[in-house]
Structures are given as C-alpha cells and as structure tokens.
Chain A
Amino acid sequence: MEILGYITLTIFIAAMLLMLFRKLNFPVQTVLIAVSLICLVVGAVFRSFTEGWVGVILLPNEMIGGIILHPITALLAGLFLSGALTASGGFGALKILINKLRKTPIGLAGTLVILIQLPVIASLPCGRIIGAALLPLLFAFGFEGGMGLLTRAQLIVLIGSFARNAFGSCGPSPIGGVGQIGEGFLGAFFPTASEGILRAPQAFSLMLGTAITALFLKFISMKLYPKDVSLRDLPEGGMEKKRESEVRGSFRGYLSLMIFLASLLISIFQPFGKMPVQTVLVAGGILVIILCRITIRDMMGGIILLPVSAMAAGFLAAGALAATGGFNALGNILKGFSNIPFLGIAGMLAIFVQIQTILPLSCSRILTAALVPVLYLFGPAKFDLITWPQLAIVMAAYMINATTSCGPSPLGGAGMMAEGTMRAETGYIKGAFTFSSMAVMAPLAAIYMKFLTLSSFPASGLQFERNVWMIIGFTVIIFAANAIMIKLTNIFLSGNVNRDWWYQLLGFVIPGAIGGAILAFCLYETAFLPIIQGTIGGIIAALLIGLMVPKRLGPTETVE
C-alpha cells in the first residue's frame, strides 16, 4: 500500500508540473480527471492483489470522499447573489456610493484600501463568496467597467490584492474557516484554542501580505508579463469623460444592495443562530428576486461554471490520492526530511509550513485535512519533535500558508477568478501570491503567535509590552526587507524572459531564507544550528516555489 502512495503521488505531481510548464495543454479539469482515473486504475490493480474485488469496488466511494461540498456551494451562492446584484442594478448603486465615498476625507485611495481588506474583515468561511460577489465591482473601477476611475495598472493591483486578501480569508473565519482545523488540534493543550487561537496571527499576516502582493504585482508581475493582461487602458482624456458620465442608480439597485449587505452581515454575525452562509446568501438572492422583480434567469447568469468544475476536479484528484495513500506518502517524505543533517527539524518545518504554497491545490482544505494531523503527530502527541508552544507557532505559519494556497493554484484555484476579472492569462498572479505567502505571511504569523497570542493564552502575559515591540520590530523588518527585494528585482528586470526569470528566482530565494530563519528563531530563539537549518529549509522551499512561477504566460507555439 505504501508503494502505491508513492506511485500515485508521483503521477499527480508529474501531471501538475507538466501542466504548469505547458507541456500538457488540456483544460485543467480534463487533466485532473484523467489523473484521478489513472490513480484509480493503479489503485485498483494493487488492491485486486491485496484485498481482491471487494477492495476494488470501494475505491470510487473513497475518491468521491475527496470532494468538499462547502467551497463549491459557497462559490455558487456567491455567484448567485452577484448575478442578482448585477441584474437588479445593485452594482450601479454601489458605484454611486463609492463615487460619493471618494469625495469624503478618506478619498478614493482610502475607499479602495477598505475594499481590499474587506474580505479579512468579513472573514467568511470561503473567500470565493465575497470574491464572486465583489470582483465584478472592482472591474467596474476601470475604463471597460464604466467608472474609469483607475488606470489599467491600478486596476491590476486592485484586483490582485483584493483577491490575495479574499482567498486567504477562509483562514481566520470563525464560522467554518480552514483555520479551525488547526485550532481543533491545538485544543488538546490550549483549552480555549477552539475559540480562535489562530485567528489573529492569520488576519494580521494576511493584511500585511496583501500589501506586499500589491507591490509585487506593480513592480514585478507587470514587468515580467507586460502583454498578458488584455484589459484596455483609458484613452487620452478618457478618464475625465468617464468620470463626467453620470451613472444613475435606481431604487431597485439600492434595495438589492441593502439586501446584499444585510446578507453579508447576517452571514458574519449570525444574529438568528448558526446557519450555513450559503443559506443566507441564497435567501438574500431570493429576496432580491421577489422585491426587485428580476428573473431567476438573470440570477443564474451570474454563475460561472468553470471555477466550480475545476475545483470539483481538483477535489476528485485529491480524493484519488487520499484513497491510494498518496498523502500518507507525502507525510512520510516530509518527516524523513528531519533526518537529513543539514535540515534537521527546523529545516523540515521550514519546508513543511510552505508545502501548500509549493503544491497549491484548488482548495486549501484538501491538503490541510491531510497534513495537519501529520503536523500534530510531530508534537508531544506522538513523535515529540516539538513542544506544544512550538506546535502552535508552526501551526500558525502553516495555516496561513495553507489557506492562501487556493489563490495561486492553477488547478482551479480561486485566484483564477481574479485572473479572469483582470483579463489575464492563467498564472499571472502566481508569483505575487506565492511570494507574499512564503516571504511575509508565514514568518509574520509565526512571530505574532510567539510574541502575542501564546503570551495571552497561557497565563504568562507579563512581558506584554516588550512582546508588542518585538512584533512591531519584526513586522517592519520583514516588510522592509521584502519591499526592498521587490524594488531591487524590479530594477534588474530587463525584458529578457530567461534572465528576468532567474532574477525573480533569486528574489524568491533570499526572502525564503529570511523567512526560514525567522521561523527557526520563533521555535528555537537564538540557537545557531536550528537557525541555519531553518534558513536552508527556507531556501529549498523558496526554490521550489520560485521554480513553479511561470516564465511566460502566453502560448509558446513557434511560427515557422
């Protein structure tokens, strides 16, 4: 059975890499389903020898078990409500409100910053809900969307950073977020962990990671892939014309907007008792149908099937891997890393926390559910490689990395919605998203957990003030180091695809090393060897992440 796991894991990773490097140019769903079927056939052959026919016929059920219905239904509900808003003129009304808001002291920049951070404020259990509902609105800020308030470059940064924030916001969500998987495990030692031990570190690092994403998109992605976004820029003098053209809001629009906001608030605060977010959103959609007199067809128009089917295909591939022991093999490989002298436990953990950024799947829940139990077993519960507080620190870093991994996933990840909205080729945001997860979010979450959350959970909060200053210090260092790195890489980019890619890789490796060292410091404080091991682990993880950032995005067929 163990060898079967290694075989199916190899098949899956090979298919992913081939797809990533465009050697397998089929739609993502086709490849993933094909991989699932191959894994299933290989699994069936193995099982026919070990367990006979009885074992074989159980395989399809085990594969279907990989499907997580919640993100699929959440996305559908988000799209459903977004369709209703579009049809009833809700987005028009929102445009008018935003126009008014930008004339207030917070201005356009302040309004946009609030919009970008809205997902982490709302913290819904799946970022796709708010993403599906608000991405069309963000598009409207550009020339093609009608408002003409932002240039093409500004719109790319706005959409990208909003998406970064949204597709990680499932982590700190207290109503079924992914972070709760880790909190459940930490409850074995921290009695109140399930009340949100991981929430603050995740939200904090996500906020700052969003800012780094914006910088990366502006200074690196736009220069690396200058022609891979087909958004049109404002024509000469067009901005003024656009601004002048008055958008008129209707009563129906305002009403639907109010229903939408009420639905979001009810989803977040659950004032009528616990209920699924999907139920609230669909009920909101039905209210819009009745009160704003739109048809169901209008509403269905908002549903985009591709992200749904790609996500489902991703789940099936993960299900096939789980059924054939692929994830167990991955866990074994990771644990084996700790026996390598130059990596040790610190280096292995530095790689472990980045594993979902290295291997981004369509929904972070897939790998998180498989790997968090492995991480838990590294602690005092079984292998005793790390203590409980150390486990909490690694969990915080791992979890933010995991929850943000659906963003850069080319296998039906949520980020594809953002790429679609900015009319970009698949993979455009991968560099920015993976960089911010790896270099900023993971180390920041670890720092926050070590110096603030852990000191307020057990009764040892004596050094509170000193710890807050430590967090501020580290935050400034991490942010400044990465911003400088981005700016430096930007200076070196020259338009030569191959050379630029190497510069970018170097730009990944150095922050990766810093991230690994910071994680090791959080775990072992000033012990020299673990910091070196953490640095090496960070470099390996960064290399793997950086290598997967596409060189070019467009088609590579040569014209003879």
Chain B
Amino acid sequence: MADQDKDQKDKTEKKRQRDDSAQPVVLPGIHRYQFFSNLKDRALTKNLNRLMMFGIITTLGVDIIKPLFRGLTQTIYCYECRACYATQDNCPVGIPFQAELVVASRVSDYRRFINNGGLKCVRCGNCTSFCVQYIELQEVFGQMQTITMDAIRKGKVPKGVLVRAMEEGLVGRDFIADVADVLGKRT
C-alpha cells in the first residue's frame, strides 16, 4: 500500500516537470505541446496574445476618449455603484436604473439609453443628490438625449428599438414627435 502511494507520488512528480526537451519537435524550435501550453516561448500564440493585448488597450482607450470628444467627460468618473437607484419615487418619470443611462452615455450605446428610459428623462436632477461622485446626471442625460436624437434622425438606431420604446412609453414628450416622424419616414 505504501509502495503504491509512493509510485503514485513519483508519477505525480513526473507529471509536474516542465521538461521541454522531452517533447517531440514538430517544427524546428517548436515542441508539440507548445501549441496548447502556457509556456513562455509559445510560437503560434505569441502574436495572438499580443493582438489581444492590443485589443484590450485600444478598447480602454476608446472607452475613455469617446466621452471626452462627445462632451460627456463626467461619465468617466462614474463608480457604477448604482447608489443613484435609490432615487426611486423621487424620479418624476419613474426611471429605475440611472446608472445604466450613465454607462450608455459613456459608450454611446443608444439601445441601452433608450431601453432604460433615457429619452423620457426631464432633467430635473433629483437623482444627482444620490450620486456619491456628484456627477451632474441631468447634464449628462441631456447631452446624451441630443446625441441619441441625432443618431435616430440619421437612421443609426434600429427601427425595432424605437417601436418598442414608443409602445412602452419610453419616449418623453420633448422627443415623441421627432421619433414618430422618423418612424413614419422609415415605413
């Protein structure tokens, strides 16, 4: 029994060794399992990893630069803690998820903005008092409303999203005529 345990241990020890030279060479300088392993000197995955890292950095850059150019700098400071959800009945139009609107504004996600009631916001600023970062939410939402309406007029928002927003009362009276007009033209 003890011998068996010892054999098992030895086997495990062997398995643990990172011995490159024991692997068959499939191409000069490349061992078979390097295609799949997490070794430092991967040949094929090296560039893939670089590419992915480049992708991450680019996306982070876009995430920060985009709101800067669109005049929505404040959205960068959002903690996404959702403390603003405590607005509850203090929101005159019953928007439940204010933070969603902030994130949508940061990345210009029109669908998210409309679906969460961004177009019915009356910019009263009641939610601002709940923000732990003192972001002027009404300013952010107002700016994003302008950007979203612009995108709607240019046909950048799918028709289905607009139809659903109209059906569910997610478009405020400031924009309802414009949205109806756009929908009318599209049909």
Q: A residues engaging B (CB < 8 A)?
A: 25-27, 29-30, 33-34, 50-52, 54-55, 57-58, 61-62, 64-65, 67-70, 72, 125, 174-178, 180-181, 183-185, 187-188, 193-194, 227, 274, 276, 309, 312-313, 316, 365, 369, 372-373, 494-497, 552, 554-560
Contacts and interface: CB of A to CB of B under 8 A. Distances in A.
Given A52-B158, A274-B134, A61 B16 contact: no
Nearest to B130: A194
A276 B81 CA distance: 12
Nearest to A557: B33
Contacts of A369: 80, 82, 99
Nearest to B14: A559
B41 to A, nearest CB: 14
Contacts of A559: 14-15, 17, 19, 22
Given A50-B160, A54-B158, A61-B109, A68 B38 contact: no
A302 to B, nearest CB: 19
A494 B14 CA distance: 19
Given A26-B49, A61-B108, A61-B110, 7 more contacts: A27-B49, A54-B158, A183-B83, A227-B16, A373-B97, A554-B16, A557-B18
A372 B159 CA distance: 29
Contact of A65 (B17, B19, B45, B104): B104
Contact of A555 (B37, B106, B109, B159): B37
Contact of B56 (A174, A309, A373): A309
B111 A62 contact: yes
B62 interface: yes
The B interface is mostly helix, strand or loop, or mixed, namely: helix
A159 B56 CA distance: 29
A497 B12 contact: yes
Interface string B93-111: 0001101000110111111
A560 B171 CA distance: 67
A558 B24 CA distance: 12
A143 B120 CA distance: 62
B155 interface: yes
A62 B112 contact: yes
B37 A58 contact: no
B80 A365 contact: yes
B77 A276 contact: yes
A25 B111 contact: no
B152 to A, nearest CB: 11
B175 interface: no
Contacts of B156: 54, 57-58
Nearest to A366: B80
Most chain A beta-carbon neighbours within 10 Å: one of B48, B83, B108: B83
B83 A25 contact: no
Given A68-B80, A194-B83, A557 B107 contact: no
A380 B81 CA distance: 23
Most chain A beta-carbon neighbours within 10 Å: one of B45, B62, B81: B81
Contact of A316 (B23, B56, B78, B159): B56
Interface residues of B, number: 64
Given A54-B156, A58-B109, A176-B133, A125 B63 contact: no
A70 B77 CA distance: 7
A228 B169 CA distance: 58
A369 B83 CA distance: 12
A168 to B, nearest CB: 15
Given A33-B56, A64-B63, A181 B85 contact: yes
B60 A313 contact: no
B99 to A, nearest CB: 8
Given A67-B63, A557-B37, A558-B14, A30 B158 contact: no
13 contacts: A30-B52, A33-B56, A58-B110, A67-B63, A67-B107, A125-B79, A176-B79, A176-B132, A180-B82, A181-B81, A181-B85, A184-B84, A555-B38
B107 A65 contact: yes
B64 interface: yes
Contact of A181 (B5, B49, B82, B104): B82
Contacts of B146: none
B111 A187 contact: no
